[in-house]
Structure 1
Amino acid sequence: MAGADSPELQFPAPWRYRVVVEAGNPASPALLRAVLDRYGIAAPLQEARCSGGGKYRSYHIDVLFESRAMMEALSRDLQAVDGVRFLL
């Protein structure tokens, strides 16, 4: 629930995900791309950075959500991808 100082999201809403995956799982980018394709999202999976120890790699994904339901469903499906540690 949004607090008094938190504005309610208005849809369509642009959103930038940061997805942190285990660097040792080379299939993660292809699996993330497959999820995006299922939703008809053509935005590129932008490689962002690797952790200092090389254990994690992060990607950015820019999305325009048409509804909260779509946002919640895509978030759930991205989080379920093998190798995903964090979804921000």
Structure 2
Amino acid sequence: MVGPPSPLSFPTDYPVKVVGRPEDGFRARVHSIVLRHAPALDAERVTERPSANGKYVSISYVLVAESRAQIEALIAELQACDGVMMLL
């Protein structure tokens, strides 16, 4: 089944924010997933911010998305990633 046409035109800058607990390996797991789907990611377009109490961390990426399928695959893999609590 084909979904509705995307309101985005590709390639486009696409922001992704991943929130989770700053446990061992969390950042590495998330980063490896993002790099698998966006291997040309510019490190300067990655930011990290702890929550006020340090209980959570948000990692923000701005990647160049080439297609809707690429975005959907990235989101699906991040949702299945251990430790990911929220995606924005």
Q: Shorter-chain TM-score: which interval?
A: 0.7 to 0.9
Instruction: Report which of the two has the higher share of helix.
Output: 2
Q: Which runs of 4+ in 1 moved over 3 A?
A: none
Residue 25 of structure 2 aligns with an amino acid whose one-letter code is A
> In the TM superposition, what are the counterparts of 1:33-48 in structure 2 within 5 Å?
33-43=31-41, 44=43, 46-48=46-48
Aligned to 1:54: 54
Partner Cα separation in structure 2 for residue 67 and residue 9 of structure 1: 9
The 1:87/1:53 distance shift into structure 2, 3 A limit, reads same
CA drift of 1:40 comes to: 4.5
CA drift of 1:41 comes to: 2.1
TM-score, normalised by the number of residues in structure 1: 0.78
TM-score, normalised by the number of residues in structure 2: 0.78
Uncovered stretches (5+) of structure 1, i.e. residues with no partner:
none
Aligned to 2:14: 15
Matched pairs, number: 83
Uncovered stretches (5+) of structure 2, i.e. residues with no partner:
none
Residue 29 of structure 1 aligns with an amino acid whose one-letter code is R
Contact 1:36–1:42 under 8 Å retained in 2? no
